[in-house]
Amino acid sequence: MTMRSTTHPFDDDHLHEECGVFGVFGYGEAAALTALGLHALQHRGQEAAGIVTYDGEHFREHRAPGHVGEIFSSEAVMQRLPGHSAIGHNRYSTTGETAQRNIQPLFADFEFGGLALSHNGNLTNANLLHHQLVKRGCLFQSTTDTEVIIHLIAISEQATVVDRLIDALRQVVGAYSLAAMTSDTLIGVRDPMGVRPLVLGQLDDAYFLASETCALDIIGAKFVRDVEPGEVVVITKDGLTSLKPFAPKPSRFCVFEYIYFSRPDSVVEGTSVYEARKRIGMELARESHVSADIIVPVPDSGVPSAMGYANETKLPYEMGIIRNHYVGRTFIEPSDHIRHLGVKLKHNASKSVIDGKRVILVDDSIVRGTTSVKIVEMVRLAGAKEVHMRISSPPTTHSCFYGVDTPERKDLLAAQQTIEEMAKTIGVDSLAFVSMDGLYRAMGYEKRNPGMPQYCDACFSGEYPVPLIDQEDGQTTSQLSFLANFR
Ligand code: AMP
């Protein structure tokens, strides 16, 4: 995640990232396996990717903007990445440009040797720490918050690399899943609340780390278990050691990973993402069904929840909207103008399915509302008699500061309008979102525990479980506006 550089972070709508991480220890062609893993995690980061390997003597690295398939398809590139250990990273951003120096894994030479680091998440006190570190004379090479961890490792007085990393992480606040690699160790870490996912896999005797299980499936590795919140797993030639160095905190896994972000074929924290989405669709139907003829998903993200909705209502499930897979996610385009163009490029309504029908459209979320406006217009043009929209998340009213890209609050439709107003804006006959308790029921709970919700649902509730230090510290962030010059 890139450090936000404006005087108030809510003003900054650029360079927010989501990411995927992958790591291998002790398997031949580690770079090729990492490239495959990153390919499976492409949905978590589409802007740039990188791999660092260790070949027994040297660290090797390759990072570039673009998709994994393009970056690691050349034999020449792969030949430059020999070794039995590797870590990789996918990066996702709202801007088209990435400074080369921001592409992860980051790498640094310390007195104890080299260390590569991949990070998924977002540190919420990175600006504050950056300020303190610069005052101490640290020279930053990038604008990623991940680099703060590198400097904290460098100045730590602990003896071993693992203790230095733990020492560094005791000073950071935020959401992080990390894969780190030295010449003889692979380390996986999840923040004490376990906001972002990280799983452990095994193939023969070798261990793997990945953001999601789909990255283990692609290489035929078996899923061992999730890295636990607050856990540090240390993998060496002698095997795996599990450490729990942080004060225990209640777990707050990101519920949006189930709703949208993770791949449906992944199993996250013991729950299949696909099954969770279907159950949310069923809850949605129980809560807000209206009389209609067909259920139509907004592909791809609305597909599993629309199937759940159709199962529950026994109405026909129809592919009334077809998605063109050869365009990127519209959400990440930088301007409204391009976003509008993108949506038209991406979806088309099928007249033969929709004409004369009362349609229930199911999608996973409404963020800016741009997609929904276009989709509804398309469905009406295709001859729908009525258009009802059902959303398999509660209204997105707050920005995420833990590593999922959401725009600033003023651009979140649900933060600005009531549901009735949103229905008018989008142009539907009715609009409903799954309730917060409905969402939690679908996840296997009786209801959301109001004092201590079982997940991080800050984007729907505004209750941020991990303190937003930089946001609260206006003075420090304004002192840091010089960071803008780094871009
Ligand atoms: P919007 O046009 O801004 O309302 O976009 C809503 C659509 O974007 C949803 O239907 C999701 O499929 C997708 N979406 C939601 N959150 C994200 C995100 N953080 N990154 C990328 N796409 C998203």
Distance between CA atoms of 470 and 129, rounded to whole angstroms? 9
Does residue 483 lie within any of the structural domains?
no
Same-domain pairing of 166 and 304: no
Q: Which residues line ligand 1 (CB under 6 A)?
A: 260, 301, 329, 331, 363-372, 404-406
Q: Which of these three, 220, 252, 284, is where a domain ends?
A: 252
| CA nearest ligand 1 atom 8, residue | 331
Give 180 Cα–ligand 1 centroid separation in angstroms.
30
What's the start-to-end Cα distance of the chain, in Å? 14
Give 371 Cα–ligand 1 centroid separation in angstroms.
8
- Give Cα 468 to chain centroid, integer Å: 18
> What pLDDT does residue 137 have?
96
Q: Which residue has the tokens 């404006």?
A: 6
Give me the CATH number covering residue 406: 3.40.50.2020
Same-domain pairing of 285 and 236: no
From 371, 375, 401, 431, mutation site for ligand 1 pocket: most ligand atoms within 8 A of C-beta: 371
Distance between CA atoms of 360 and 317, rounded to whole angstroms? 10
- The amino acid at residue 75 is E
From 333, 367, 398, mutation site for ligand 1 pocket: most ligand atoms within 8 A of C-beta: 367
| CA nearest ligand 1 atom 21, residue | 331
Does residue 485 lie within any of the structural domains?
no
> What pLDDT does residue 406 have?
87
Distance between CA atoms of 52 and 31, rounded to whole angstroms? 8
Does residue 109 lie within any of the structural domains?
yes
Task: Note the pLDDT tens digit of each residue in 14-34.
Answer: 334 579 999 999 999 999 999
Which domain range does residue 395 map to? 275-443
Question: Which contacts qualify for 7-11: CB closer than 8 Å, 24 or more apart?
Answer: 7/474, 7/477, 7/478, 7/481, 8/471, 8/474, 8/477, 8/478, 9/401, 9/470, 9/471, 9/477, 10/399, 10/408, 10/409, 10/410, 10/471, 11/408
From 273, 298, 321, 365, mutation site for ligand 1 pocket: most ligand atoms within 8 A of C-beta: 365
Same-domain pairing of 68 and 99: yes
Candidates 339, 358, 373, 340; CA nearest to 296 is 358
Give me the CATH number covering residue 171: 3.60.20.10
Candidates 190, 198, 240, 231; CA nearest to 26 is 240
Does residue 460 lie within any of the structural domains?
no
Give 129 Cα–ligand 1 centroid separation in angstroms.
31
Indicate which atom in ligand 1 lies nearest the CA of residue 343.
Answer: 2
Does residue 107 lie within any of the structural domains?
yes
Same-domain pairing of 228 and 352: no
Per-residue pLDDT of the chain (487 residues; tens, 9 = 90+): 555 443 223 233 333 457 999 999 999 999 999 999 999 999 999 899 999 999 999 999 999 999 999 999 999 999 999 999 999 999 986 444 568 889 999 999 999 999 999 999 999 999 999 999 999 999 999 989 999 999 999 999 999 999 999 999 999 999 999 999 999 999 999 999 999 999 999 999 999 999 999 999 999 999 999 999 999 999 999 999 999 999 999 999 999 999 999 999 999 999 999 999 999 999 999 999 999 999 999 999 999 999 999 999 999 999 999 998 877 544 555 566 765 665 567 899 999 999 999 999 999 999 999 999 999 999 999 999 999 999 999 999 999 999 998 899 999 999 999 999 999 999 999 999 999 999 999 999 999 999 899 999 999 999 999 999 998 865 444 333 333 322 2
Strand order in the sheet with 106-110: 106-110, 113-123, 174-181, 186-190, 232-236, 239-243
Q: Tell me the helix, strand and coil percentages in the chain, rounded to 5.
A: 35, 25, 40
Query: Strands 253-254 and 455-456: what pairing?
Result: parallel
Same-domain pairing of 118 and 31: yes
| CA nearest ligand 1 atom 12, residue | 301
**Residue 324: how many CB atoms within 10 A of its CB?**
11
- Is position 19 annotated as part of the catalytic site? yes
Q: Are 336 and 313 spatial neighbours (Cβ–Cβ below 8 Å)? A: no
**Residue 463: how many CB atoms within 10 A of its CB?**
13
| CA nearest ligand 1 atom 3, residue | 368
Q: What is the tally of structural domains in the chain?
A: 2
Same-domain pairing of 172 and 62: yes
Does residue 482 lie within any of the structural domains?
no
Does residue 133 lie within any of the structural domains?
yes
Give 417 Cα–ligand 1 centroid separation in angstroms.
17
Distance between CA atoms of 439 and 436, rounded to whole angstroms? 5
Catalytic residue among 19, 254, 456, 459: 19
Distance between CA atoms of 67 and 63, rounded to whole angstroms? 11
Q: Are 452 and 250 spatial neighbours (Cβ–Cβ below 8 Å)? A: yes
Task: Note the pLDDT tens digit of each residue in 351-378.
Answer: 999 999 999 999 999 999 999 999 999 9
Give 367 Cα–ligand 1 centroid separation in angstroms.
6
Does residue 172 lie within any of the structural domains?
yes
> What pLDDT does residue 340 have?
62
Same-domain pairing of 177 and 321: no
- As beta bridge partners, residue 223 has 201
What one-character DSSP code corresponds to residue 482?
Answer: G
Phi-psi region of 413 (alpha: psi -120 to 50; beta: other; left: phi over 0): alpha
Same-domain pairing of 295 and 348: yes
Distance between CA atoms of 101 and 118, rounded to whole angstroms? 13
| Backbone phi and psi for residue 229, each to the nearest 5 degrees, phi listed first | -55, 135
SS3 letters for 418-448? CHHHHHHHHCCCEEEECCHHHHHHHCCCCCC
Q: How many CA atoms lie within 13 A of 135 on its CB side?
A: 9
Candidates 67, 92, 170; CA nearest to 400 is 92
Same-domain pairing of 281 and 229: no
What one-character DSSP code corresponds to residue 4?
Answer: P
Same-domain pairing of 246 and 100: yes
| CA nearest ligand 1 atom 10, residue | 365
Same-domain pairing of 246 and 318: no
Indicate which atom in ligand 1 lies nearest the CA of residue 363.
Answer: 10
Indicate which atom in ligand 1 lies nearest the CA of residue 369.
Answer: 4
Same-domain pairing of 293 and 412: yes
Burial of 102 (0-12, 13-18, 19+ CB in 10 A): buried
